[in-house]
Amino acid sequence: MDHDFNIEDLTTFEFPNVKWENAFENEEFTKIFSSEILEKYIIHKRWYGGKASTLKYIEIVDYFKLKSTKNTFFGVLLEVNFKEAFYQHYFMPLAFMSKEDLDTKKIIASVKMEDTQGYLVDALHQEDFRRLLFENIVASRSIKGSKLVFHKGSILENEKYEESHFMGLEQSNTSLIFNHTHVLKIFRRIYVSVNPDYEISRFLTERMHFPNAPAYSGSINMVGNEGMITLGLMQELVPNQGDAWNYMLDKIHVVFENLSKKNINTERLTDISMFKRLKITDIPPEIIDWVGLSLFISVKKLALRTAEMHVALGSDTHETAFTPSSYNGDYSVWLKNRLLYQFQNRLNIIENKMGELDGLALELAHKFLDYKKMVRTKFVDFDWTKMKSERIRIHGDYHLGQVLVNGDDFYILDFEGEPESTIRDRKVKQPPLKDVAGLFRSFHYAIYATIFNHPNEFPFEQEKLFSVGEILYRYLVGVFLETYVEKVQSENLNIGYNHEIEFLLKYCLLEKAVYELGYELNSRPSWAVIPLRGIQSIMQY
């Protein structure tokens, strides 16, 4: 959780021979800043991703200077080294402000430089800095002598700065709203590479004119010593009523309430096989009576938008980064090595966490360990020579939380990719069905989360709720697949024929469920039931 330091309680660090304008050229300042000041501050930030590891030391690897008419700001690139022998890079914009000029109570440190008493703060909390960023993007300005590259998107007019504020709570990145019309996402964890979120957002807007993602309106990149680094992405603000995760939870809650309200005979609910494609008109009357039409209509619309996203990402024949690719031996080796490493990591975690599990979670964990050889065999059983479909750039971390609801429509956002993956891995072309599998796992989660979040609310045993939840899940999957497959095939996106589609979906669902298992075991072991149940089901398809 973010930590606010009280100004009166802060120890003042004194640098009598250092001017703020030259601070990062001074060895004494950078040494004290990166150790005594920063090490205490950074571990409290929401965007700091090293909380599960032991910090060893922080090093300043690069910086830039940015001046307004009133202030000098620095953008600092940090390398955080851990005792576990790995490191992460972070971006921190900094300001040195007098008490009178502070726009925030969030203080990094009290500092006296030469004869000036002031405070180090995250510059994003100063309106002067936010205005400076916006005006530089609108001007598409290259700062003379600076490593920064500001770019204005084609949709951005020569807009004047009016106001800016933070968007919600700070998470892994920091988002700012400008003029109530644009969102600037500042990337906190950074990579020596163009960020996929920037790359895909700009491509979808400026090349493919895809309407159901926030439109790209600008960016901030830095030319580092080893390559281009994306620091900020600005997009149009999409009016919305929240994300599809909460929307789906509300819908599914009503579905479970209907069991008793409508006195549904659960024994008469017609089950279907997994991956059976269904038109809404093919859904049995007793299922419609239980679930209602609106949820299926929403799933159909979400399937259409997902298909349109993949068609846009896979239909360019000129830009190499987005041209569809065939499967080959290199991809197969990359895939298997990655998944086997991840699977072994999950096995290690589950063996270490057994003592924290009980009930159904413990039972399913033992079953998982019993068929670990079968899971490993499934991952190895990827024969690229039998694949007739194509790989494309995909969303990579697609779930209901990455989708905004606007009326009866959906907008897809956050193309940054899977947090655990390296930046290079996030740019590998993969089967679009991996995104579909991610969404299916999200459906599964929403069903089980509804059961877990409302204990004793529904007048059925938990196992009965799980059973009817699995029936609901298969219908959601069936309706989604019917619309998705029909759309992508009509647009000539090659996802293969039925046998290959089913194989890839099973493979990607297993990959996603194993990925989820690590998160649940580390953060909320009782919820490990959801991915463990998913893995068990997938192994039985």
**What CATH code is carried by the domain that includes residue 219?**
3.30.200
Q: Is there a single domain that holds both residue 231 and residue 245?
A: no
Name the domain boundary from 201, 220, 236.
Answer: 236
Write down the pLDDT at residue 1.
40
Q: Is there a single domain that holds both residue 209 and residue 288?
A: no
Q: Is there a single domain that holds both residue 170 and residue 27?
A: no
What would you measure as the largest C-alpha separation in the chain, in angstroms? 82
Grouping H, G, I as helix, E, B as strand and the rest as coil, residue 41 is helix
Cα gap 465→50, rounded to integer Å: 38
Name the domain boundary from 75, 90, 118.
Answer: 118
| Other CB atoms within 10 Å distance of the CB of residue 437 | 23
Q: Is residue 123 included in any domain, yes or no?
A: no
Q: Is residue 493 included in any domain, yes or no?
A: no
Write down the pLDDT at residue 142.
77
Domain around 92: 7-118
Write down the pLDDT at residue 438.
97
Q: Is there a single domain that holds both residue 228 and residue 253?
A: no
For 345-400, how does the pLDDT look when each residue is reduced to its tens digit (9 = 90+)?
A: 999 999 998 988 988 889 999 999 998 999 999 999 999 999 999 999 999 999 99
Q: Is there a single domain that holds both residue 92 and residue 46?
A: yes
For 51-92, how does the pLDDT look when each residue is reduced to its tens digit (9 = 90+)?
A: 778 889 999 999 999 999 999 999 999 999 999 989 999 999
| Other CB atoms within 10 Å distance of the CB of residue 489 | 15
Write down the pLDDT at residue 227.
82
Write down the pLDDT at residue 7.
60
Token pair for 393: 């750039």
Q: Is there a single domain that holds both residue 244 and residue 284?
A: yes
Report the number of distinct structural domains present in the chain. Answer: 4
Q: Is residue 114 included in any domain, yes or no?
A: yes
Tell me which DSSP letter residue 226 carries. S
Cα gap 2→111, rounded to integer Å: 21
Q: Is there a single domain that holds both residue 15 and residue 114?
A: yes
Token pair for 443: 């459906």
State the alpha helices, DSSP H only, in 127-267: 127-138, 196-202, 244-261
Q: Is residue 489 included in any domain, yes or no?
A: no
Q: Is there a single domain that holds both residue 210 and residue 332?
A: no
Q: Is residue 490 included in any domain, yes or no?
A: no
Name the domain boundary from 64, 91, 118.
Answer: 118
Token pair for 227: 């390559």
For 453, counting Cβ atoms within 10 Å of its Cβ (0-12 exposed, 13-18 middle, 19+ buried), the class is: exposed
One-letter amino acid at 129 equals: F
The CA–CA distances, whole Å, from 521 to 368, 511, 534 equal 13, 16, 15
Q: Is there a single domain that holds both residue 12 and residue 87?
A: yes
pTM: 0.93
Q: Is there a single domain that holds both residue 452 and residue 516?
A: no
Q: Is there a single domain that holds both residue 260 and residue 192?
A: no
Place of tokens 């990827």: 382
Cβ proximity of 24 and 60 under 8 Å:
yes
Cβ proximity of 221 and 122 under 8 Å:
no
Parts of the chain with a pLDDT under 70: 1-9, 169-170
Q: Is residue 232 included in any domain, yes or no?
A: yes
Q: Is residue 305 included in any domain, yes or no?
A: no
If phi > 0 it is left, if psi is from -120 to 50 it is alpha, else beta; for residue 113 that is beta
Q: Is there a single domain that holds both residue 277 and residue 402?
A: yes
Write down the pLDDT at residue 9.
62
Write down the pLDDT at residue 537.
87
In angstroms and rounded to an integer, the radius of gyration of the C-alpha atoms of the chain is: 25
